[in-house]
Each structure stands twice: as C-alpha cells, then as structure tokens.
Amino acid sequence: MEIRKELPEIFEEFAEGRKNAFLSAKKQKDKNLPLVGTYCTYVPVELPMAMNAAVVGLCSMSDETIPLAERDLPASLCPLIKSSYGFAKSDKCPFFYFSDLVVAESTCDGKKKMYELMSEFKPMHIMQLPNTQDEDGFALWKKEVIRFKEKLEDFFGVEITEDQIREAIKLRNEERRAALEIFDLMKMDPTPVMGYDLFKVVYGASFTFDRELAVKQMREVKDRILEEAEENSAKIGHKPRIIISGCPMGGATEKVARIIEETGGVVVAFENCTGIKNYYNLVDEDNPDVYEALAERYFKIGCSVMSPDTYRFQLLGELIDEFKADAVVDMTLQGCHTYNIETYEVSRFVTEEKGIAYYHVETDYSNADEGQLNTRLQALIEML
C-alpha cells in the first residue's frame, strides 16, 4: 500500500525483527550471556530479565516442521503444538537451538504432554497454571512464580535479588506502555495506518533483545505516524473496523489479518497473545512484595484454558468499546479445543451484549484455505 512507503525505515525494520533476532541470539551466546526461550505470555519474563538474560519467543507458527512432528505426535493435534515440537526437534529454530533453558507452561493437555517429549533433548522448566482464577488459584500461581525464580538461580548459578526484579519490572512496564501507545493509534477513525502493519511493528519489537532500544524505536514509530496522521488517514478513509480475537496470531495465521485488510476492512485491535493481551495491565511497581506483584499481573491474563475465562471477556469488551469495532473475527486453530468451544460464548457476548457482528474462522498453518477465507471475509466486510 502507498502508506507503507511513507513510514519511517524503522517501520520495515521491525517487520524483519525476527530474522535479525536470529543473529542477535548467536551474538548473545558468543558473549556467554544466558538465553531463555518461552512459548506463552503467562511466563513472567521479568525474572530472567533480572539476571540479565535475554528472553525470546520460540518458533511455533509455521507448517514447515509439522510433518516431522507427526512422526511422534498425533496428526489431529493443534498445529501450534506440532509446529513448536517440530522446530525444536529439527533444530530449525535458532532461538530454540541457542536457548539454555526453555520455560513452558501447562496451558493445555496437548502442550503439557508434548513438553514431556521435548524435555528429552532440551532443559525445560514447566510452570503449572491453575485452572481457575480464584483465591486458591492465585496462591498456587504465586508459588509457581517463586519456584521459577529459584529454578533460574539454581540452573544458572546466580542470585536474583528483589532490587534486580524491581528494575526489570520497571523496564518491562515501560515496554508495555510503548506497545499500548502504538496500539492506541488505531482508536482514530479513519485510522492513520493499517492494522496489519502496526501488528508487525509490535510483534517485531518482541524479538529485540535490547528492550530499552525497543521502547525507543516503538515511540519513534508512534511519533512519526502521529506527525503524518491527518494525511494518511485521509488516504485510508473509513473502513469497517475489525477486532481479531482467539488463538495467537503470527507467521502462517497472519493470513487472516492480511485478507481482512485486502478485502476492504481494517484490523483496529488484536485481542490475542501476540497482540494487546501480551501488554495489557502493568505490574504494580509500588507493591513491596515483588512476587505477589508479578503473580497478580500474569494471573489476570485471559485465556480459554481458564474456567471461567473472565478476564478475556473483560478485555474484549473494553476493546470493542474503545476501538469502536464493527465486528469481531474469532480466529481459532483446528484442534485447539478450549478456544473452539469458547467461540459459542464469545459469539453470544459479541452479538447480544455488545451488539456488533461476529465471525468465526477456524484454520491451520497451511495456505490451502486462503481462497475460501478470502471469499468469506470479503462477504463479511461487504455486509458491514
């Protein structure tokens, strides 16, 4: 699109952030600095940050390694789980290869059992999630946060002080603020940029090991977009405003956002683990108990593995109101039972309580359904 040519060069650099991070991971190891790999937004990254470790999300969103994974895993399993395992076992993910420790979480039964196989060829630490977000669940989760800190100390032979954790909390909070400032630009109508482009900025920033640099660069992008907002908004014009909810988006599943915008809509918010959910809510910097503060922030992440999933609906409702959405597209992965079952409740919430359109898209990591998706999403946009 024309608007992309007028944005700062750094905008495109963020789109290449993951590729550049592969080289950064090797440099990290060449300097003998620790690297911790993660799969989920429930992992409190402030703890490895406190010991000066780099933290990176591991490869999990491509069908490239799924055939290899299916030698050990059922073909009917969620593609995210198979992709994660395939990248790990094939050594096709540089992040996984260079990670000293992989920190995972018991979000679903498929992941939990897959991690047992993965632990045979990589040091793993599994954080045990509660099933409910109540008082008893929080007590368990706080213990898990402390156990994770103790694992890092034991595994790397370091001491992590509470002052170090507080500094990491401040830095990560600032990163969250910068990302939310970027996302908030989409509250404008017409928007000053297309949502898929903005998604790539924040997603790319998550692969920048220098977090202070990532904050600086995201704010540079935000300022530049604001400088040219009037001109660019006029070029884009008013479009149906879509929120994407559901399973994590990235890699292969970015096709959904791309098709929405190619067929005349604009994605104003991403309510998923690779979107606003990952940055929503700050850690309380004034709480003298740093472990309680960390546990509280991560405990309030909405996810379909929780029953009931109160915090997901709370966030989705706020986004619908604040971003003035015309519709919610609920993107789920084949074989992801919790998110697929929850589409029933999300549909009722969106259409009955919020009074806007709802559309469910179930997909996988192949491109075989792109033609069908194009037809169906174009029909939604035209209806709006």
CA–CA dist 246, 312 (Å, integer): 10
Per-residue pLDDT, 4: 40
Q: Give the list of residues 6+ apart from residue 154 with CB closer than 8 angstroms, or none.
A: none
pLDDT tens-place string over residues 17-49:
556 777 778 888 888 889 999 999 999 999 999
Pick from 155-164, 199-208, 276-285, 322-331: least confident? 199-208
State which CATH number among 3.20.20.80, 3.40.50.11890, 3.40.109.10, 1.10.540.10 fits the domain covering 34-160: 3.40.50.11890
The CATH classification number of 239-384 equals 3.40.50.11900
Residues with Cβ within 8 Å of residue 294, at least 6 apart in sequence: 44, 46, 47, 145, 165, 169, 283
Give the model confidence (pLDDT) of 120-174 as tens digits. Answer: 999 999 999 999 999 999 999 999 999 999 999 999 999 999 999 999 999 999 9
Looking at residue 21, its amino acid is A
How far is the C-alpha of 206 from the C-alpha of 18, rounded, in Å? 8
In whole angstroms, give the CA distance from residue 64 to residue 359: 28
194 close to 264: Cβ distance less than 8 angstroms: no
pTM of the model: 0.94
Which residues belong to CATH 3.40.50.11900 in the chain? 239-384
Where exactly does CATH 3.40.50.11890 map onto the chain? 34-160
Q: Which residue has the higher pLDDT, 94 or 114?
A: 114
Q: Is a pLDDT exceeding 90 seen at residue 64?
A: yes
Three-class SS state of 132: coil
C-beta atoms surrounding 174 within 10 Å: 16
Alpha helices in the chain (DSSP H): 2-6, 9-15, 17-30, 46-50, 66-69, 79-90, 94-98, 109-118, 135-156, 162-184, 195-205, 211-227, 229-236, 254-262, 290-299, 310-322, 337-348, 370-383
pLDDT band at 2 (very low <50, low <70, confident <90, very high): very low
